[in-house]
Amino acid sequence: MSDDHDDSPIAARVRELEAILEEKGLLDAAELDRALEAFAHKASPANGFRVVARAWVDDDFKAKLLENANEALPAVGLSMGGGLQVQRLHVVENTENVHNVVVCTLCSCYPIALLGPSPTWYKSTAYRSKVVSHPREVLEQFGLELPAGTEIRVWDANAESRYMVLPRRPEGTEHLSEDELARRVTRNGLIGTAAV
Amino acid sequence: MSEHRRGDRVRTSTVDPDHHTRLPAYARGKTGVVIGTDGVHPLADLRARGIEHPQQVYLVRFTAQELFGQGDHSVTLSLWEEYLSDE
């Protein structure tokens, strides 16, 4: 039953717990909604764009980001702890010879804090099943044609960790500021279905 | 339970369990290489049944050839110790 990844017994348990806590006056439903909204409001791909721009201009930050992303994030005022638990983040770097692409084949695991809500296609069965077996074709459908010699690495976020791609810095951007660079980054660039 | 090190070849379980698991079907009974560790987390298979059983998780890379019999890419998954045996 590996297609069942929404842990629905847990979801049911959470709903029951929520109802009991409300009944006992220990939890304010409006307060909970406000907390969830605050998380959703902060969760935006603009966060991921900032991380990438910093990595492009700061080699020390980039080295730390690739080694231990969770420890690097506070330098740009971010963390992976905004949700229910702190999730481990892996940042994988695109280079001249290597292209990375992220998927969750079991459901739709995604670093929401850094990328915002995931796009519909990311959750589609078509993307999830095909990108692991035929990534080159899937990337071509996204308009990304990689040189024949480029090594493609697919990362399946099938367990507890989340992934973000560090795209290659576009050529001819040496004169741009960090903020200007951040505006060049795209959400699909962070998933690996586009170059930047 | 053995401990796997970076560079070790490991084989995934062939079992198709009748409960929740995070070993995807496409990666069952396949040989890959450990490229790192990915923390210690409760085994998803047991956690779904309310049992907390923390176990080492490994990053394991497979060739497309091994998984699908074709392709020149690789796929990396996070796999609990429970799913792996020494090759």
Beta carbons within 10 angstroms of residue A48's beta carbon:
26
H/E element, B9 = strand B9-12
Arithmetic mean of pLDDT, A143-162: 96
Question: What residues of A are labeled active site?
Answer: 104, 107-109
At residue B80, does pLDDT exceed 70?
yes
- Would you give the distance in Å from CA A180 to the centre of its chain? 21
pLDDT at residue B2 in the model: 59
Q: Rounded to 5 degrees, what angle do the CA atoms A131, A168, B34 make?
A: 55
At residue A2, does pLDDT exceed 60?
no
pLDDT at residue A82 in the model: 63
In contact, A111 and A80? CB cutoff 8 Å: yes
Residue A160: list chain B partners with CB under 8 A. Answer: 38-39, 41, 57, 78
A7: nearest CA partner in chain B: B48
Cα gap A139→A168, rounded to integer Å:
16
Distance from CA of B63 to the nearest CA of A (A): 10
**Band of pLDDT at residue A3, cut at 50, 70 and 90:** very low
Residue B72: list chain A partners with CB under 8 A. Answer: 151-152
Which of B62, B7, B13 is CA-nearest to residue B35? B7
Mean pLDDT of chain A: 90
Distance from CA of B27 to the nearest CA of A (A): 11
- Would you give the distance in Å from CA A166 to the centre of its chain? 11
**What does the DSSP 8-state code read for residue A156?**
E
- What tokens were used for A4? 């069942």
At residue A41, does pLDDT exceed 80?
no
> Which carries the bigger pLDDT value, residue A38 or residue A111?
A111
Q: Where in chain A is the domain with CATH 3.90.330.10?
A: 43-191
> Which carries the bigger pLDDT value, residue A142 or residue A35?
A142
List residues in chain A touching B: CB distance below 8 A. Answer: 1-2, 4-5, 7, 9-10, 88, 105-106, 132-136, 151-161
Q: What ipTM does this complex have?
A: 0.95
- Would you give the distance in Å from CA A115 to the centre of its chain? 5
User: Could you state, in order of their start, the residue ranges of all structural domains in chain B?
Assistant: 9-86
CB contact under 8 A, A157 and B78: yes
CB contact under 8 A, B76 and A154: yes
> In one letter, which amino acid is A49?
F
pLDDT at residue B33 in the model: 98
Residue A157: list chain B partners with CB under 8 A. Answer: 78
Mean pLDDT of chain B: 94
- State the best of B76, B80, B83 to mutate against chain A, taking most chain A CBs within 10 Å: B76
At residue A5, does pLDDT exceed 60?
no
- Report domain B9-86's class: mainly beta
Arithmetic mean of pLDDT, A81-103: 89
Q: Which CATH architecture has domain A43-191?
A: Alpha-Beta Complex (3.90)
- Of A32-36, A45-49, A66-70, B53-57, minimum mean pLDDT range: A32-36
Q: Is the pTM of this model over 0.90?
A: no
Interface of B with A in 51-70 (CB under 8 A): 57, 64, 67-68
**Band of pLDDT at residue A4, cut at 50, 70 and 90:** very low
Q: Which residues, in sequence order, are CB contacts of A9 under 8 Å at separation 6+?
A: B48, B49, B50
> Which carries the bigger pLDDT value, residue A37 or residue B8?
B8
In contact, A9 and A113? CB cutoff 8 Å: no
Order of strands, sheet of B31-42, starting from the edge strand that comes earlier in the sequence:
A98-103, A151-156, B74-80, B54-63, B31-42, B9-12, B84-86
In contact, B43 and B55? CB cutoff 8 Å: yes
Taking only the tens place, the pLDDT of each residue in B13-66 is 999 888 899 999 999 999 999 999 999 999 999 988 889 999 999 999 999 999
**Band of pLDDT at residue A145, cut at 50, 70 and 90:** very high
- State the best of A8, A93, A132, A139 to mutate against chain B, taking most chain B CBs within 10 Å: A132
